[in-house]
Chains A and B, each alone.
Chain A
Amino acid sequence: EIVLTQSPATLSLSPGERATLSCRASQNINSFLAWYQQKPGQAPRLLIYDSSNRASGVPARFSGSGSGTDFTLTISSLEPEDFAIYYCQQRKSWPITFGQGTRLEIK
């Protein structure tokens, strides 16, 4: 099973700042990584797929990068609605796995 480790567990930033979230895979997953955003009481929302492709309707301030084992989600300038929990997910091999999440909170 491929383990995804996200860091940091919690990130405290202010609106307008740049956020950098990390996801590390326990083995090579090529670019088969997605990022999701989840707000309290809501289902997850797909942000990024295949490492760097924005899903439909996702603002341009969200970007993804990486390949192999190290991946990054960057939010260029935080908006108030961006404070949420972010999960990475791999589809390289079964079982599909998620990271444990990074909580992005307002400082």
Chain B
Amino acid sequence: EVQLLESGGGLVQPGGSLRLSCAASGFTFHNYAMNWVRQAPGKGLEWVSAVTGDGVSTYYAGSVQGRFTISRDNSKNTLYLQMDSLRTEDTALYYCAKVMSNYAPFDNWGQGTLVTVSS
């Protein structure tokens, strides 16, 4: 059974940093691209970032380009999202999601970790 468990969320001041983690199990982690998707309170889904299975290629939404960095450690079956220069509009529930094939769709999701950016 595929399991994705996010952690690292919390309250941070504008301009601050946070690092999210997603521990994966139940599948061959390095064979699949992984994604971060966020959902602001009461709002829809917004794709944030993707990384290939080997970690070589990364992709970002324009809203986070230059501030967020996605990475993975295949030896630990863990996905990361380093978030710097956080803004109030980054407040959201952050999901990690596994792809079915290629870069989408996303066939397995974690339960999310909440990031709140506020002074």
Contacts and interface: CB of A to CB of B under 8 A. Distances in A.
Interface of A: 1, 32, 34, 36, 38, 43-46, 49, 55-56, 87, 89, 91, 94-101
Contacts, number: 62
A45 B112 CA distance: 13
Given A96-B47, A98-B45, A44 B104 contact: no
**Category for how many chain B residues contact A:** 20 to 34
Interface string B49-67: 0100000000111100000
A95 B59 contact: yes
Interface of B: 35, 37, 44-47, 50, 59-62, 95, 100, 102-107, 109-112
A94 B107 contact: no
Given A43-B109, A44-B45, A49-B100, 18 more contacts: A36-B45, A43-B95, A43-B111, A43-B112, A44-B95, A44-B109, A46-B105, A49-B105, A87-B44, A89-B45, A89-B104, A91-B104, A91-B105, A94-B59, A95-B60, A95-B62, A99-B44, A101-B44
Contacts of B62: 1, 95
- The prevalent SS among residues of A at the interface is loop
Kindly name the residue among B46, B50, B59, B100 whose own CB sees the greatest number of chain A CB atoms within 10 A. B100
Contacts of A87: 44-45
B104 A96 contact: yes
A96 B45 CA distance: 11
B103 A98 contact: no
Contact of B107 (A46, A96, A100, A101): A46
A96 B59 CA distance: 9
Contacts of B110: 43
A38 B39 CA distance: 12
